[in-house]
Chains A and B, each alone.
Chain A
């Protein structure tokens, strides 16, 4: 945690209310996001129990599973959820816009907007990821048929869960993450994962301090947990008897309807407080102006949505259970690049975030005291425009001579550190030589060179384009990563799945860590299967 954020927590504790750690909103907020509050059955492998879903505060739809251990009912739930999610997604596929590619020589099309899913907490994202995993390989035909919408839902949920790992993406957000990005509370990071307590700090009810509101929010009797895990007391005392009553009703239609209604009432009571909190969170985030680079990142989400919609339309395969070596390396590279660029963009957009970097010596703010906008360097083959400016700052300047700095005010311009001279009373004079962002001539256009009196921030953080890394083709996977995969064509229609009892390939690997049987032939639905990459236990590190 940065010192500045930690300090904001200390201030929040003293003030009794959360303190801002951002002056702008760093994420996109859709006009009508699809809010999804899921509950899971305790002890089962991601068995859905209930969900409240809707794209407006008064449009909540309740889905429940009266007997969560029943597989058919689970897939019926998935089909019902698909009946809400898929039309919502289709609603964004009306209008596409042309985007120039290849330096304007060509255009491609992408939808003008994209869907956004909101869940209460990171555990909610995990729930959707696993629900996607448990449904995307299902088939509408064969031995255990499901509704045709179920595997499509599974692919989309997997798409959203993968986007959620992408730094800077707003396609699927956990409300606790979104709020903690903008406010610091007077409690720990662990406690911030509890949405009611977090909102208690950010927006305490009148007459209560944030701390008091958070403590009140911790009692599951007055404030049900935000899911997907339920309160054990609720399970034991209220849910279990209601499920038993429903099961005991068997073929008695009247008793069954009554028991179903009772289950609905119980589960709605557990979900509704979280539903309210979700929309309160949306309201709080809407109150912040969006950062300048948020729209650009949302364009990335639109691209991803368009691309995946086309993939689904063209009958593309569902996402594999595990990425192959090359795909995994490419994905990691993409995630690292967007992590870096997301951090830089937030700092450029928000002086309060830049302040964190100023405190850690990656940036300083100073006033321009001298400027030579006409300076030309003619020592090389061709004379080039290289203006110099001098700034005076009271902040430490640990950057070495020759380092390249950037200013959020002129992101296209590079500034090389020429001199750093400490002067009296803690001030430092910094001379920078500028290049770029001034046209092609030997005279800088007005405004392209900072003028005397301007207060500017210079930082080592660069928002410049980062070229993508080079990766080998799949068939040239190096031996260090398992070598080229051996393609085995799995005949369609006989796709084995763990749940149907087939596909229990014996695992030969043994080793340290938790080794698991994801052997070749297991990744059945993708036409080509790959061997496990490296040590299968590395997932546990």
Chain B
């Protein structure tokens, strides 16, 4: 065991690390500059529990209705050995719909034996590399893939992988949000895109490891959603090249977690059995980079927001920029009132803030303009 691993284990308090999945990996791509988050996620700390312990519970509940609906739609799309799905994907890729395709369910089998499932998925997927024209298309339901995140193997389960269609592998994601007249909720599409990128990356690594060309996995993921207000599925292509770049960068960064740990106090711990006051003190020792976007992505965001109160960045990056980059609200007001002398490099910001304060006061006092 390396010292980095020992240190990460100490940060966790000796409990096993929390498992990542495609969703949590996707979340890692938000706010890449935050050390607190990189260290906690790298160590696999149970952040929801941590947030609850220190009195800032996260609110990431999922409605039962949404889950039921998601499962029902996926089952409907995959019915009949994926015949309808095959047609949708083939038509979207612009290739003739094959008369038949093999359907392999990799999702069942021995529940606990992930290693066996993983081996089976790997063997079948590598065998399915496109060859001659007479290859028949193959659909793999819930294959089990792997990806290294912060030095640990994470198991990933895409909804479906289509092989030998248009000469490539395609990751297929089935989502239950609707596409109405060709448009869907942009936030949901981008979340699905980054999740699909995680699968594309894992599949590419699998092929590369077996000596195949990783580019056999298309960077176009296929998104299958209900069309308009009905249950009829419709397939769309999402180019995930950009997401792949972001993802690779963040995974590389987490792989170098020892470099990050150098900036973290020796005795830092997020041991969930520790006293909340001790945890709060420990967390404050690791720098965070709170932005309002964190509220939608990170379980610790409410704590970080509370800590960042009084900082212009907590009001949003555009606010901070508009205030000349001055970091603290107190400083902004003091500079504007002329009560504090501008530090070197702040002269321009100070002049801007003084002008802003004067103009606001003028206009609010009713001075004619």
Q: Given A42-B63, A42-B66, A499-B230, is A7 in contact with B323 using a C-beta cutoff of 8 Å? A: yes
Residue A488 at the chain B interface, CB threshold 8 Å: no
Within 8 A of A (CB), among B288-319: 292-293, 295-296, 309-310, 312, 314-316, 318-319
Cβ-closest chain A residue relative to B349: A3
A515–B236 touching, CB < 8 Å: yes
- Quick one: which of A42, A236, A518 contacts B182, CB cutoff 8 A? A518
A513–B329 touching, CB < 8 Å: no
How many residue pairs bridge A and B at CB < 8 Å? 203
Residue B269 at the chain A interface, CB threshold 8 Å: no
A516–B315 touching, CB < 8 Å: no
A46–B229 touching, CB < 8 Å: yes
A190–B322 touching, CB < 8 Å: no
B360–A355 touching, CB < 8 Å: yes
Q: Smallest Cβ distance from A518 to chain B, in angstroms?
A: 5
B67–A43 touching, CB < 8 Å: yes
Q: Smallest Cβ distance from A207 to chain B, in angstroms?
A: 19
The interface residues of chain A lying within 8 Å CB-to-CB of B82 are: none
A352–B364 touching, CB < 8 Å: yes
A236–B319 touching, CB < 8 Å: no
Q: Smallest Cβ distance from B86 to chain A, in angstroms?
A: 14
B363–A354 touching, CB < 8 Å: yes
B316–A190 touching, CB < 8 Å: yes
A43–B176 touching, CB < 8 Å: yes
Residue B210 at the chain A interface, CB threshold 8 Å: no
A14–B66 touching, CB < 8 Å: no
Residue B180 at the chain A interface, CB threshold 8 Å: yes
Which of the candidate stretches A96-104, A159-167, A281-289, A503-511 sits at the interface with the other chain? A503-511
B189–A11 touching, CB < 8 Å: no
- Quick one: which of B189, B329, B352 contacts A14, CB cutoff 8 A? B329
Residue A359 at the chain B interface, CB threshold 8 Å: yes
Cβ-closest chain A residue relative to B177: A45
Residue A250 at the chain B interface, CB threshold 8 Å: no
Expressed in whole angstroms, the Cα–Cα distance for A57 and B235 within the complex equals 46
Q: Given A45-B180, A514-B223, is A23 in contact with B369 using a C-beta cutoff of 8 Å? A: no
A3–B356 touching, CB < 8 Å: yes
Chain B 312-347, CB within 8 Å of chain A: the 1/0 string?
A: 101110111011100001101100100000000000
Q: Smallest Cβ distance from A48 to chain B, in angstroms?
A: 11
A512–B323 touching, CB < 8 Å: no
Q: Smallest Cβ distance from B348 to chain A, in angstroms?
A: 12
Q: Smallest Cβ distance from B215 to chain A, in angstroms?
A: 16
Within 8 A of B (CB), among A35-84: 41-46
A511–B316 touching, CB < 8 Å: no
Q: Given A45-B228, A499-B230, is A10 in contact with B352 using a C-beta cutoff of 8 Å? A: no
Residue B27 at the chain A interface, CB threshold 8 Å: no
Residue B91 at the chain A interface, CB threshold 8 Å: yes
Residue A314 at the chain B interface, CB threshold 8 Å: no
Q: Given A23-B364, A322-B181, A516-B179, is A10 in contact with B228 using a C-beta cutoff of 8 Å? A: no
Q: Given A3-B323, A4-B360, A10-B333, is A516 in contact with B65 using a C-beta cutoff of 8 Å? A: no
Expressed in whole angstroms, the Cα–Cα distance for A232 and B67 within the complex equals 11
Q: Given A3-B356, A220-B59, is A514 in contact with B189 using a C-beta cutoff of 8 Å? A: yes
Residue A321 at the chain B interface, CB threshold 8 Å: yes
Residue A249 at the chain B interface, CB threshold 8 Å: no
Residue A351 at the chain B interface, CB threshold 8 Å: yes
Which of the candidate stretches A181-189, A326-334, A427-435 sits at the interface with the other chain? A181-189
The interface residues of chain A lying within 8 Å CB-to-CB of B293 are: 190
A358–B189 touching, CB < 8 Å: no
Expressed in whole angstroms, the Cα–Cα distance for A44 and B230 within the complex equals 10
Cβ-closest chain A residue relative to B238: A514
Residue A211 at the chain B interface, CB threshold 8 Å: yes
Most central of A11, A42, A44, A355 by chain B CB within 10 Å: A355
A507–B63 touching, CB < 8 Å: no
The interface residues of chain B lying within 8 Å CB-to-CB of A8 are: 360
Residue B256 at the chain A interface, CB threshold 8 Å: no
Q: Smallest Cβ distance from A241 to chain B, in angstroms?
A: 10
The interface residues of chain B lying within 8 Å CB-to-CB of A46 are: 178, 229
Cβ-closest chain B residue relative to A519: B182
Residue B239 at the chain A interface, CB threshold 8 Å: yes
Residue A336 at the chain B interface, CB threshold 8 Å: no
Q: Smallest Cβ distance from B230 to chain A, in angstroms?
A: 5
Residue A539 at the chain B interface, CB threshold 8 Å: yes
B229–A498 touching, CB < 8 Å: yes
Residue B143 at the chain A interface, CB threshold 8 Å: no
Residue A202 at the chain B interface, CB threshold 8 Å: no
- Quick one: which of A134, A501, A507, A513 contacts B229, CB cutoff 8 A? A134
Residue A133 at the chain B interface, CB threshold 8 Å: yes
A233–B61 touching, CB < 8 Å: yes
B239–A513 touching, CB < 8 Å: yes
The interface residues of chain B lying within 8 Å CB-to-CB of A43 are: 63, 65-70, 176
Cβ-closest chain B residue relative to A408: B369
Chain B 266-283, CB within 8 Å of chain A: the 1/0 string?
A: 000000000000000000
Q: Smallest Cβ distance from B175 to chain A, in angstroms?
A: 11
Return 30 A-B CB contacts under 8 Å, by A number.
Answer: A1-B318, A4-B356, A4-B360, A6-B312, A7-B360, A9-B315, A10-B312, A11-B333, A13-B310, A13-B329, A20-B364, A43-B66, A43-B68, A43-B70, A44-B65, A187-B315, A188-B316, A220-B59, A232-B61, A235-B64, A322-B181, A359-B352, A457-B369, A499-B230, A501-B230, A504-B232, A508-B94, A510-B237, A512-B237, A516-B236
Q: Residues on A close to B: CB < 8 A?
A: 1-11, 13-14, 20, 23, 41-46, 130, 133-134, 186-191, 211, 218, 220, 230-233, 235-236, 240, 321-322, 351-352, 354-355, 358-359, 365, 408, 455, 457, 498-499, 501, 504, 506-508, 510-518, 536, 539-540
Q: Residues on B close to A: CB < 8 A?
A: 59, 61-70, 91-94, 176-184, 186, 189, 220, 223, 226-230, 232, 234, 236-239, 292-293, 295-296, 309-310, 312, 314-316, 318-320, 322-324, 329-330, 332-333, 336, 352-353, 355-357, 359-360, 362-364, 366-369
- Closest A-B pairs by Cβ, 7 of them: A43-B66, A232-B61, A516-B182, A43-B69, A45-B178, A42-B63, A6-B322
